Amino acid sequence: MKFCILMGSPRKKGNTSSLLNPFLNELSACGAEHDLIWLYDKEIQPCIACRVCQADWSKFGCWYKDDVQEIFDAILSSDVIVLATPIYSWYCTPPMKALLDRLVYGMNKYYGEEKGPSLWAGKQLALITTCGYKPEKGADLWELGIQRYSKHSQLSYVGMLSERDLGYKHIFMDKEKEENAKAFARILWNTGRNEKEPENQRDRAIFEE
């Protein structure tokens, strides 16, 4: 099973990265493969709603020749997509928002003369976030937006790991956050394997609604 981690923090050694590290180590320990893509290192132009991507339902087909085609390919070769981002103004950071816009059109061929398919239908999507407020006040709107985005795109939303940053004078990571990140990795791994093997009757993830 393969994971595609889309990392939206600008800080390579920041809070979101510190939370992601034990998550990735645990995924590897479970036997999962992953791609890790740092979005601030990529050229991601904003969607301009030209709808060139709607002409051919078999491919991404975007007019821009930037780095989104390679991200599109990485997503299509994965089973689980993880959006990792700090919360900025109650949502994700700008490159991740630009990417989500490019994907909602490029992946979902809903916007031409006739309604076409979702090219990523059935994949799982999960969130890892860090925020200054308590998660229920800092990351709630982001999670709600992504739940709707997932339903619209025919993705299966799995859940969110969200941890609070108490500010620059505090050390962000502690043992509890590390354990939460590892537990979240195991949940995604087990949920993904259940989805791939429907006859397997293991319990569903506690994060699922």
Asked if residues 15 and 130 have their Cβ atoms less than 8 Å apart, the reply is: yes
Q: Rounded to an integer, what distance in angstroms lies between the CA atom of residue 98 and that of residue 72?
A: 13
Q: Is 86 in the site for ligand FMN (CB under 6 A)?
A: yes
Stretch that binds ligand FMN, among 40-48, 113-121, 131-139, 148-156 (CB under 6 A): 131-139
Q: Is 162 in the site for ligand FMN (CB under 6 A)?
A: no
Q: Give whichever of 86 and 106 is closer to ligand FMN, judged by the CB atom.
A: 86
Shortest distance in whole angstroms from residue 83 CB to ligand FMN: 13
Q: Is 133 in the site for ligand FMN (CB under 6 A)?
A: yes
Q: Is 38 in the site for ligand FMN (CB under 6 A)?
A: no
Q: Rounded to an integer, what distance in angstroms lies between the CA atom of residue 132 and that of residue 176?
A: 17
The Cα-based distances of 65 to 51, 157, 176, 205 in angstroms read: 15, 29, 43, 39
Q: Rounded to an integer, what distance in angstroms lies between the CA atom of residue 34 and that of residue 129?
A: 18
Token couple for 68: 């989104």
Measuring CA to CA, which residue among 95, 1, 80 is closest to residue 43?
95
Q: Give whichever of 17 and 191 is closer to ligand FMN, judged by the CB atom.
A: 17
Q: Give whichever of 14 and 61 is closer to ligand FMN, judged by the CB atom.
A: 14
Options 16, 78, 153, 162; binder of ligand FMN; rule CB under 6 A: 16
Token couple for 115: 């309604």
Which residues contact ligand FMN (rule: CB under 6 A)? Answer: 9, 11, 14-17, 86-90, 130-133, 138, 165
